[in-house]
């Protein structure tokens, strides 16, 4: 965990290259260049029904990078002290989320696709699903 920042201020938008030409836009991601962790998993959310909310949990170690591949959604991050909202609606930037961050993902537009690059394989024991437990742990490390 050393060298990994875990404050809300470390969660940030990272711009990706955008190559535009008359045929449309192209964005690429080179792991070691654009993403501040080694990518070990990729997953995506799609066909999200209107009004549905995802997330509502935190991670002990996981780092993630969220990109709106289509449409829009909001990500609300909470480090146990303060919250910050990010509106995601472009494919040429992503949101880096450090460990120990509660996240709620809301306001999915119709047809939204959320792609996630993750620093670890799926591990159920990495999750805080209970907000009070998360809060106690998050406040204890700062």
Of residues 34, 57, 59, 87, which has the active-site annotation? 57
Active site residue 87: no
Q: Does 71 bind ligand T46 (CB under 6 A)?
A: no
Nearest to 108 by CA among 65, 59, 44: 44
Taking the C-alpha atoms of residue 101 and residue 111, their distance in angstroms, rounded to an integer, is 26
Q: Does 113 bind ligand T46 (CB under 6 A)?
A: no
Q: Measured from the CB atom, is 16 or 95 closer to ligand T46? A: 95
Q: List the beta strands (DSSP E) in the chain.
A: 12-15, 19-21, 24-26, 41-45, 54-59, 64-70, 73-78, 83-88, 93-97, 102-106, 113-118, 127-128
Q: Does 46 bind ligand T46 (CB under 6 A)?
A: no
Q: Does 84 bind ligand T46 (CB under 6 A)?
A: no
Q: Binding mask 1-40 vs ligand T46 (x if CB under 6 A, - otherwise)?
A: ----------------------------------------
Active-site annotation, residues: 57
């Amino acid at each position: 965990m050393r060298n990994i920042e875990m404050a809300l201020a470390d969660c940030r938008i990272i711009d990706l290259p955008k190559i535009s030409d008359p045929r449309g836009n192209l964005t690429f991601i080179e792991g070691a260049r654009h993403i501040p962790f080694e990518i070990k998993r990729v997953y995506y959310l799609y066909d999200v029904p209107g009004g549905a909310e995802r997330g509502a949990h935190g991670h002990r170690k996981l780092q993630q990078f969220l990109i709106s591949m289509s449409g829009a959604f909001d990500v609300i991050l909470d480090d146990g002290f303060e919250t910050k909202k990010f509106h995601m609606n472009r494919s040429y930037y992503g949101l880096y989320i450090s460990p120990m961050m509660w996240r709620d993902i809301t306001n999915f537009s119709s047809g939204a696709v959320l792609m996630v690059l993750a620093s670890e394989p799926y591990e159920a024991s990495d999750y805080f699903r209970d907000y009070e437990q998360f809060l106690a742990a998050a406040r204890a490390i700062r």
